[in-house]
Amino acid sequence: MFNQNILNLSFFLMFLLFSATSCGEVNQKSSEQPGRSGEEPPSGQSSQSELLVKLIAHRGGIVNENGIENSRAAMEEAIRRGYWMLEIDLRKTKDGRIILHHDSNFERYYDEPRSVSELTWEEIQELRSEVGGSRPLLFEEAAELASGRIRFMLDIKGGDFEESDYMEIESVLEKYGLLNSAFVLSDAGAQQYLHGKASIARGLDDLLEAKERGEEVSELYHLFELGGNLDQEMVQVAEELGVKVVAAINTFRYARSGETEEERWEAAKNDVERLLDLGVEYYQVDSVYEPLFREGEVSGL
């Protein structure tokens, strides 16, 4: 009887150990899922599964009361909401470091009137934004954050990038597995250097000319155009060429579409409805327009 009790106790302890290990493995796997926080979305926010198309977050992510443009918080929130890509703005510091920042100076978010090219990285990393208390990110920091979780669209600003800078951009993208999936919006130097390595933004006329030259346009380029300018013929030609169509739905465009917020919203909504009907799948958007791409928000969906 004593030996039987010992045996039963042994089996019980082995069961407890197996259960604890299995739970630990499940929790670990759950925490390793890319781009998922495991949290429920805030009240009023749709889940990731309800996105109807592939969204590219303009100016580096979800810009709101919690995160400024091109910030870590904005990027993380875009990933959490299921965005397909981040459009990020790159500039070069006085000492040649590549950072994420849209404006030529830091006045709008950091109350610092000096330009990016006037400050060293050592000075810039001491800045703190009025919203969220964040500092600007190095390009490599952003790439590390995005790796395995989301893609990049590059908008290179300032006009002071050299070939060595493009080489660094390529190296960072390749290091973090982001090169082949990247879109390049600008500048011309980056588009030339990264040609054949990343997808380059082109207008329809440029695509047709490239086709005439015998280029494999479907592998090299994508069509990028303001949503209000895209029509059925343009979309149809792009589809025949086999290139992705990216429509830009940005606040600066619709600021000219009406005197009131309601009129501007209606103009954006009309464009989105029309483009969805045309089958456009990729949109570079300011996050304020995100509800237009969630199931049930656009009439008729």
Encode pLDDT of 68-124 as tens digits.
Answer: 999 999 999 999 999 999 999 999 999 999 999 999 999 999 999 999 999 999 999
**pTM of structure:** 0.83
Question: Which tokens is 267 given?
Answer: 């103009």
* Residue that wins the pLDDT comparison between 167 and 42: 167
pLDDT category at 50 given cuts 50, 70, 90 is: confident
Q: What is the pLDDT of residues 147-178, one digit of tens each?
A: 999 999 999 999 999 999 999 999 999 999 99
Contacts of 256 (CB under 8 A, 6+ apart): none
Q: What's the confidence (pLDDT) of residue 297?
A: 58
Bridge partners of 199, per DSSP, are 183
Q: What is the pLDDT of residue 296?
A: 66
Mean pLDDT of 181-193: 98
Return the pLDDT at 14.
Answer: 40
All structural domains of the chain: 56-160 (3.20.20.190)
Per-residue pLDDT band for 55 (boundaries 50, 70, 90) equals: very high
Closest CA to 203 of 190, 180, 186: 186
What percent of the chain is predicted at pLDDT more than 90? 79
What pLDDT does residue 258 have? 87
Residue 289 has pLDDT above 90, yes or no: yes
Query: Are residues 272 and 254 in contact, defined by beta-carbon separation less than 8 angstroms?
Result: no
β-partners of residue 247 are 225, 283
